[in-house]
Amino acid sequence: MEISGKAAIVTGGAGNIGRAVVAALRQRTMTVGVLDAVPDGGSLFAGDPSIAYVAADAADESAAAAAIDVLAERIGRVCVLVNCAGLIHSEPLVNVLARRRHERSTWDAVLASNLTATFTVGSIVAERMARTRTKGVLVNFSSFAAAGNPGQTAYAAAKAGVEALTVVWARELGPFGIRVVAIAPGFVDTPSTHAAMDPDVLAEWLRRTPLRRLGTPAEIAQAVLFAIDNDFLTGRALALDGGLSI
């Protein structure tokens, strides 16, 4: 897909991976709309008139719809959506030592951030694209954890849901010329990864990773570009995990 001069929306674009995706799209001369919950996130993109920023909760349907209206007015007809918004959370189902179980409040928050936000923004943008007969691609963010990562009940469930809806959407939207792809990173060197993982646990995961290192946001952004560029790719989750899943 030729994207030079066209428009994209990136949710979670103020985060570390999101910013790398925005930068990669801008290097390909796309106009980019960023939707993120960070109120002052627009300051991260100050000085680039080809980036529009709106602060909104991607999981809130009315707020997301209003934000997308604003972004579309500023950047034009959208042909690429990158659903990068998400929240990493680690919590065992049962913690015997602490005499507690996984909290429902964190379950709700993690599913809202990772799965509901993807559904909400994806459905809004897909409807616009189908109605205006705009061919394009939706790129969702899954994770290595989608296969079932111990200690990440809510996060794993949310990412498994993202992969399922990626397949469903690819089948439903393909006739409209809309492709849907998921990116499934392993552990990426970002502050959120280090905050969510105990250092000893993370070290053990790295030991199991054939490449023995964390991924970088730039490497994830390269995979997003590949998903956008390849017009025969749809309905699949691309594992980008240093070999962890093999």
Active site (catalytic) residues: 155
What is the CB neighbour count within 10 angstroms for residue 157? 18
Determine the angle formed by the axes of helices 104-111 and 153-173, rounding to 10 degrees: 30
Instruction: Give the Cα separation of 63 and 92 in Å (integer).
Output: 32
Using the Cα atoms of residue 42, residue 53, residue 25 and residue 245 in order, give the sign of their dihedral. positive
Contacts of 81 (CB under 8 A, 6+ apart): 8, 9, 10, 11, 121, 122, 125, 126, 136, 137, 138, 139
Nearest to 79, CA basis, from 6, 167, 164: 6
Residue count of the chain: 246
Nearest to 121, CA basis, from 135, 147, 106, 141: 141
